[in-house]
Amino acid sequence: MTTPSPARRQLQLNWLGILPFALFALLFLLLPTMNIVLGAFRDPAGTFTLANIAGLFSPSILASYWISIKISVASAFFGCLIGFAVAAAMVLGNLPQWIRGPLLTFSGVASNFAGVPLAFAFLATLGRLGLVTVALREWFGFNLYAHGFNLLSFWGLTLTYLFFQIPLMILIITPALDGLKREWREAASVLGATGPQYWRMVALPILFPSLLGTFALLFANAFGAVATAYALTGSSLSIVPIVLFAQIRGDVLQDPHLGYALAFGMIFITGIANAVYVTLRARAERWMK
Contacts of 289 (CB under 8 A, 6+ apart): none
Work out the number of other CB atoms within 10 angstroms of the CB of residue 183.
Answer: 8
The answer, yes or no, to whether residue 221 has pLDDT greater than 80, is yes
Question: pLDDT class for 60, splitting at 50, 70, 90?
Answer: confident
Exposed, middle or buried, 8 (CB in 10 Å: 0-12/13-18/19+)? Answer: exposed
Cβ atoms 247, 225 nearer than 8 A? no
Residues 62 and 58: their CA atoms lie apart, in Å, by 6
The answer, yes or no, to whether residue 174 has pLDDT greater than 90, is yes
Q: Where in the chain is the domain with CATH 1.10.3720.10?
A: 58-288
Q: Which carries the bigger pLDDT value, residue 280 or residue 216?
A: 216
What share of the chain in percent tops pLDDT 70? Answer: 91
Model pLDDT, residue 5 = 61
Lowest mean pLDDT among 49-53, 97-101, 183-187: 183-187
Residues 190 and 194: their CA atoms lie apart, in Å, by 10
Residues 178 and 173: their CA atoms lie apart, in Å, by 9
Cβ atoms 160, 118 nearer than 8 A? yes
Phi, psi (rounded to 5 degrees) for 48: -70, 135
The predicted-structure confidence for 3-38, as pLDDT tens digits, reads as follows 666 666 666 667 777 888 888 888 888 888 898 888
Average pLDDT in the chain: 85
Phi, psi (rounded to 5 degrees) for 252: -100, -45
Cβ atoms 282, 74 nearer than 8 A? no
How many Cα atoms sit within 13 Å of 66 on the Cβ side?
7
Contacts of 197 (CB under 8 A, 6+ apart): 188
Specify which residues 42 forms β-bridges with.
48
What CA–CA distances, in Å, run from 120 to 116, 117, 201?
6, 5, 44
Model pLDDT, residue 158 = 93
Write the class of the CATH domain 58-288: mainly alpha
Specify which residues 48 forms β-bridges with.
42
Residues 151 and 119: their CA atoms lie apart, in Å, by 10
Question: pLDDT class for 105, splitting at 50, 70, 90?
Answer: very high
Contacts of 88 (CB under 8 A, 6+ apart): 177
CA-nearest of 258, 287, 32 to 176 is: 287
Residues 3 and 254: their CA atoms lie apart, in Å, by 59
Contacts of 135 (CB under 8 A, 6+ apart): none
Residues 39, 40, 41, 46: is their CA dihedral positive or negative? positive
